């Protein structure tokens, strides 16, 4: 994993977060359980990984893991027996009680390397209620020299009892202008103008690494194709023509989200709050949508958000049928006479 030893200096906002997160350690008041909330794509993995390595290192230098001691060496080899990562198992959407119990038994034993132990619970709100209650017991009677790092997306729903056992930290994202400057300093982004860079950020709640990924991969091209198809579909009142755009699940979710943000933007445009729109490079399309009127836009938004949620949270659904239904209903909405 490249990620493990990546210097945070290239990500100024993460560097600052790391310094804040490690401050209690320097002062000798580190809490045994941290809840770290983040906006996906802000670099959460980099900063939590670094923090875990720092907690395990036996001889940190200037608040950085030394990279040389036995603990660091094992960590870098992705093989430190006192480091536990909990996340949903393959093909599962939640973290089960057995995973929590499995770790709980191990961490009450002495650390394998005679130092700290670190448990990183990724997307903590994915725990089932039973799993969360099992974890709660462990957090109430924490084993010695053990740190729990619970990371979770900003809108994740975590049991309040778990929250109350943790010290809370929110990973901040930079201001839009600072993120635009950062994106400009990245190699592959010089082909984009300021509006496009801002759009990539605003579509990702200002998370710089998510924006970079959108710009650097074929996703940006896919978005351009999708928006031009959408423009034709809406001008011709023909949602059915979008059907090809929803052939695989992952792509579908992204596109559903893109359209929802466009709908949201068109409402802002209608309310003369155009300067808050996210799709700054798609003003013409936003205007086309705004033309349908507030009532239809809200109906479409509710419908598309519901489907997005349905497809994101439930597996093994007949996606094809759901999408066909969505497009048919959307077509009824825009062709209806109410306005
Ligand atoms: Zn070390």
* Average pLDDT across the chain, whole number: 91
Distance in Å, CA 73 to ligand 1 centroid? 7
Q: Where in the chain is the domain with CATH 1.20.272.10?
A: 218-335
Q: Where in the chain is the domain with CATH 3.40.50.300?
A: 2-170
b/e sequence 115-134, b meaning 16+ C-beta within 10 Å:
bbbbbbbbbbbbbeeebbeb
Distance in Å, CA 170 to ligand 1 centroid? 26
Q: Which of 132-136, 278-282, 320-324 has the lowest mean pLDDT?
A: 320-324
Residue 248: count of CB within 10 angstroms of its CB:
8
Reduced to 3 states (helix: H, G, I; strand: E, B; else coil), residue 144 is coil
pTM: predicted TM-score of the whole model, two decimal places: 0.87
CATH class, 2-170 region: alpha beta
169-209 per-position pLDDT tens digit: 999 999 999 999 999 998 766 789 999 999 999 999 999 99
207-261 per-position pLDDT tens digit: 999 999 999 989 999 999 999 999 999 999 999 999 988 887 778 899 999 999 9
Distance in Å, CA 56 to ligand 1 centroid? 7
Rounded CA separation 303/324 (Å): 13
Distance in Å, CA 22 to ligand 1 centroid? 15
Q: Which residues surround ligand 1, an ion (CB under 5 A)?
A: 57, 65-66, 69, 72
Distance in Å, CA 115 to ligand 1 centroid? 11
Distance in Å, CA 55 to ligand 1 centroid? 9
Distance in Å, CA 127 to ligand 1 centroid? 31
Q: Which CATH architecture has domain 218-335?
A: Up-down Bundle (1.20)
């Amino acid at each position: 994993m490249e990620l493990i030893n990546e210097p945070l200096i290239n990500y100024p906002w993460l560097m600052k977060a790391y310094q804040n997160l490690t401050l209690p350690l320097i002062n000798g008041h580190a809490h045994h359980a941290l809840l770290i909330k983040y906006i996906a794509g802000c670099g959460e993995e980099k900063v939590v990984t670094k923090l875990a390595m720092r907690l395990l290192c036996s001889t940190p230098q200037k608040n950085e893991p030394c990279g040389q001691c036995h603990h660091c060496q094992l960590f870098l080899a992705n093989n430190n027996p006192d480091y536990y990562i909990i996340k949903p198992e393959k093909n599962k959407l939640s973290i089960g009680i057995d995973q929590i119990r499995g770790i709980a038994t191990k961490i009450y034993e002495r650390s394998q390397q005679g130092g700290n132990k670190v448990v990183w619970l990724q997307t903590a709100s994915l725990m089932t209620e039973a799993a969360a209650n099992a974890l709660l017991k462990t957090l109430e009677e924490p084993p010695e020299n053990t740190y729990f790092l619970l990371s979770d997306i900003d809108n994740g729903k975590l049991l309040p009892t778990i929250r109350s056992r943790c010290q809370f930290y929110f990973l901040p994202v930079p201001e839009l202008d600072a993120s635009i400057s950062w994106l400009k300093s990245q190699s592959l982004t010089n082909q984009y103008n300021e509006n496009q860079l801002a759009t990539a950020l605003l579509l990702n709640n200002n998370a710089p690494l998510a924006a970079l990924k959108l710009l650097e991969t074929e996703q940006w091209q896919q978005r351009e194709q999708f928006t031009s198809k959408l423009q034709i579909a809406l001008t011709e009142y023909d949602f059915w023509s979008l059907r090809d755009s929803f052939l695989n699940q992952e792509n579908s979710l992204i596109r559903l989200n893109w359209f929802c943000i466009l709908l949201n933007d068109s409402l802002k445009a209608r309310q003369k709050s155009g300067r808050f729109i996210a799709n700054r490079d798609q003003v013409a399309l936003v205007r086309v949508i705004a033309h349908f009127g507030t009532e239809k836009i809200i109906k479409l938004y509710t419908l598309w958000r519901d489907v997005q949620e349905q497809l994101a949270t439930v597996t093994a659904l007949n996606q094809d049928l759901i999408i066909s239904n969505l497009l048919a209903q959307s077509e009824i909405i825009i062709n209806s006479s109410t306005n």
